[in-house]
Structure 1
Amino acid sequence: MTLADTSPRFIETIRYADGRLHLLDLHTDRMRATRREVYGIEGPGLDASMFHIPPHLAGITVKCRVIYGRDIDDIQYEAYTPHPLSRLRMVSDNTVDYHLKYLDRTPLAYPDIPLRPDEGLVIVKDGLVTDSTYANLLLLAPDRAYTPSTPLLPGVMRRHLLDTGRAVPIHITPADLLPGNRLGITHIAYINALLPPGTLPPIAVTHIHPLHDK
């Protein structure tokens, strides 16, 4: 098999809404950083002219999936409907590594942990809260919003909120996600490129299960 057949594949998931592609420059930055680390090259970035939204998806939120390695392999489009959650569980996993946005999400799969349809998982690594299995976290207190300073994957929406001063990075322990925590956090919101703040109702810390070992 050739190198192109066996090398890893990565993905950028871009939101198209209100007639435009959002945070395209930040997606390009991450794509180039990934290529530098994996291949020692930057390669071409992303440009709006590469995207061709199907007419039947016009006027709605579209999930644009850019699959790439050394080159861009494919761009896929699908209607996006967010899935609301009402409860979270914490799982401890000190070996997980997802610092690049791999197409293969196996490292973030926890088949031995039963989840209800409205439950999500928050991953704790080396005693610190990182991410959920498919989004960064925005932790809401009455006077400010925090985000863990130890994410598994630094997401583009997270970076946007940090760059614009709308979130404060801080070390978060499992106890900080439970009622009566030291930071006054009352709710947790999922954020990613498809989930800007306010897209889904936040989850109250009273609906978070304590830590579960993998």
Structure 2
Amino acid sequence: MEYFETIKCEDYEVSNLLFHEKRVAKTIGLNLNLQDYIYAPSKELLRCKLIFDENGVIKVDYYPYQKREIKSFKLIFDDKIEYSKKLLNREKIEELYRKKEEADEIIIIKNSFVSDTSIANIAIFDGTNWLTPKTPLLEGTTRARLLEKGELIEKDITVKMLKEAEKIALMNAMIDFDILEDYSFFL
């Protein structure tokens, strides 16, 4: 089984390495010092893709990063999807993503609750607090950092809560916490 981490590198800095190390350890049961494998080679914004398995790091690649513009979401209902470890084989996620039709991205609804998009964890602003799903498909590193800092609250989020939210935000290693001002949903 092969897994991967996506790690932000910019301005000769590697972002949030501790949270990536924690997730790697949780995934394979090995504590790896990722500084032995990863460096930020330039000022440019790069996506570092670290591929690993139960024996350790297999490969490290760097790619220029271009953020996708996301303004519309297709809600996809799937109670069977499992993605608790960041598998290199994302076929199940990609299969759901192909159902997006005219939308820019999907939001996966599992067991009647919001979970994740195909590329990011999600949060909603209820007017007072930023809430993130109690049961995401994947516990992201940015999500973990913001929970630890007390900036997010875990809660079961219904479709109704999603639609009534004042704002939503997407979060992952590359975009950090990206608040969307203008967006729409499709069923």
TM over 0.5, shorter chain: yes
Which residue pairs with 2:101 in the alignment? 115
Which residue pairs with 1:187 in the alignment? 167
Which residue pairs with 1:12 in the alignment? 5
Structure 2 residue corresponding to 1:202, chosen from 168, 180, 183: 180
User: Is 1:24 aligned to 2:4, yes or no?
Assistant: no
- Counterparts of 2:39 and 2:135 in 1: how far apart (Å)? 35
- Counterparts of 1:84 and 1:92 in 2: how far apart (Å)? 23
Alignment of 1:60-71 (within 5 A): 60-69=44-53, 70-71=55-56
Structure 1 residue matching 2:20: 3-state secondary structure: helix
User: What amino acid does structure 1 have at the position aligned with 2:150?
Assistant: G
| Identical amino acids, percent of aligned pairs | 23
Structure 1 residue corresponding to 2:35, chosen from 48, 67, 70: 48
Q: State the shift of 1:21 in Å.
A: 0.8
More strand by share: 2
Structure 2 residue corresponding to 1:90, chosen from 75, 92, 98: 75
> What is the Cα-based RMSD across aligned positions, in Å?
1.8
Structure 1 residue corresponding to 2:123, chosen from 94, 116, 138: 138
Which residue pairs with 1:39 in the alignment? none
- Counterparts of 1:177 and 1:111 in 2: how far apart (Å)? 19
Residues 111/48 of structure 1: CA separation in 2 closer, same or farther (3 Å cut):
closer
Give the TM-score taking structure 1 as reference length: 0.80
- Counterparts of 1:175 and 1:84 in 2: how far apart (Å)? 24
Give the TM-score taking structure 2 as reference length: 0.91
- Counterparts of 1:143 and 1:126 in 2: how far apart (Å)? 26
Q: State the shift of 1:203 in Å.
A: 5.0
Q: State the shift of 1:65 in Å.
A: 0.6
Find the structure with the greater CA-based Rg: 1
Maintained 8 Å contact 1:155/1:192: yes
Q: How many residues align?
A: 185
